[in-house]
Structure 1
Amino acid sequence: MDWQTIVFEVIDMRSFSNLWFWIILAVMWSTSSHWILGVPFDMVGRAQKVGGQAAVDLEDLARIHVNRVLYIAETAGLILLGLGCFVLTALFLLGAFYGIEFAQALFLLGFPTSVVWLLNIRLAKRIRDGQLQADALCTMLSRHRVWIQVIGMMSIFVTALWGMYQNLSYGALIH
């Protein structure tokens, strides 16, 4: 047995029947809804309840991440946008027209994530322009988290429907 055969037996390229794909999907959305613009959401709750140093820490961490996100967007934004659109288009075409299930799975992971990234950039601009203090910052980050969770729920729902369809149609082909 060569190494490629071993790898493809361990990592099933039929993504929607692979437990690892669903674990990655769950971890990705759990992480996305916990780290809002690089700020852990428990820090937002602590700043709302306790205030004081917790609110100052939240403002500092948010400022650091806002500046980081906006620096990346301003210096490499067009290149990253072009590269992202190219990769997502290639994955869509490979998945939709050539039926490559791995490309379909990557597209279903990547497209909603790219929407969240765009929303993060928009939120970072709004935070920088508003020079928000702790209360308004907590409200804005909490609202943003809800939108990320809505996108995540829709993504998981669509991915589950498509995955069930793929698994059922693959099973029908075998029998």
Structure 2
Amino acid sequence: MGAAASIFELIDLRSFSNLWFWIALAVVWSSASHWVLGVPFDVILRAQNKGAKAEADLQDLVRINVNRILTISDTSWLLIAGLGGFALTALALLGFRYGVEFAQALFLLALPLSLVWLLSVRAAHKIAREQPGTEDLYLRLRRLRIAIQAIGLLAILVTSTWGMFINASLGVLGR
């Protein structure tokens, strides 16, 4: 047994039976719901509870991150859409047509994250266009967070269901 075999045993590409995949899935969705438009949710809560200084900090963070998201999406939207579509299609084909479990896992992680990105870009455009007041901004950020959490919940449900199916199938087949 060579060094390459030892490395491949250490890096198990059977994602759905790997504890690290499930930890990564939890961390990704926890982070996605915590960072709403690039603003930590605790900053939003602090601004609601503490008043003027915290509200100004929130307004500044939202302005900076909205401008950043809009710059990225406006200048590179064609490249992002093309490469993102290619990557998702390649992962879907590799995963579900050719049975590569690692590609299935990445697809089940990347597809919902792309929806979160689209929602964030849409929210950034609305915020930039409408320049909402502080209370309306809180409402928009809370609604975006709830939408992200709903997508994350559905993604975790679908991924865990698919992972259980794959693990049960492989257990029966004795792979």
- TM class by smaller structure: over 0.9
Distance across 1 between alignment mates of 2:46 and 2:3: 50
- 3-state SS of paired residue (1:116): helix
- Measured after TM superposition, the shift of residue 153 of structure 1 is 0.4
Identical positions, percent: 55
TM-score normalised by the chain length of structure 2? 0.97
How do 1:47-86 and structure 2 match up within 5 A? 47-86=47-86
Where does residue 4 of structure 2 map in the other structure?
A: 4
- Measured after TM superposition, the shift of residue 8 of structure 1 is 1.4
Distance across 1 between alignment mates of 2:117 and 2:159: 19
- Measured after TM superposition, the shift of residue 3 of structure 1 is 4.1
Structure 1 residues 168 and 67, CA, compared in 2 at 3 Å: closer, same or farther? Answer: same
Q: Name the aligned partner's letter for residue 126 of structure 1.
A: K
- 3-state SS of paired residue (2:98): coil
Distance across 1 between alignment mates of 2:131 and 2:73: 19
Per-residue CA deviations over 1:8-56 (Å, capped at 9, x if unaligned) read 1112110000000000000000000000010000111111112201000
Q: Name the aligned partner's letter for residue 116 of structure 1.
A: V
Q: Name the aligned partner's letter for residue 57 of structure 1.
A: D
- 3-state SS of paired residue (2:27): helix
Q: Name the aligned partner's letter for residue 80 of structure 2.
A: L
Q: Name the aligned partner's letter for residue 73 of structure 1.
A: S
Distance across 2 between alignment mates of 1:89 and 1:43: 37
- Measured after TM superposition, the shift of residue 133 of structure 1 is 2.4
Per-residue CA deviations over 1:50-85 (Å, capped at 9, x if unaligned) read 220100000000000000000000111110111000
- How many aligned residue pairs are there? 175
Where does residue 153 of structure 1 map in the other structure?
A: 153
Q: Is the 8 A contact 1:56 1:134 kept in 2?
A: no
- Measured after TM superposition, the shift of residue 6 of structure 1 is 2.6
Matched, 1:122 2:100: no
How do 1:10-159 and structure 2 match up within 5 A? 10-159=10-159
CA RMSD of aligned residues (A): 1.1
Q: Name the aligned partner's letter for residue 94 of structure 2.
A: L
- Measured after TM superposition, the shift of residue 113 of structure 1 is 0.3
- 3-state SS of paired residue (2:25): helix
Distance across 2 between alignment mates of 1:174 and 1:113: 33
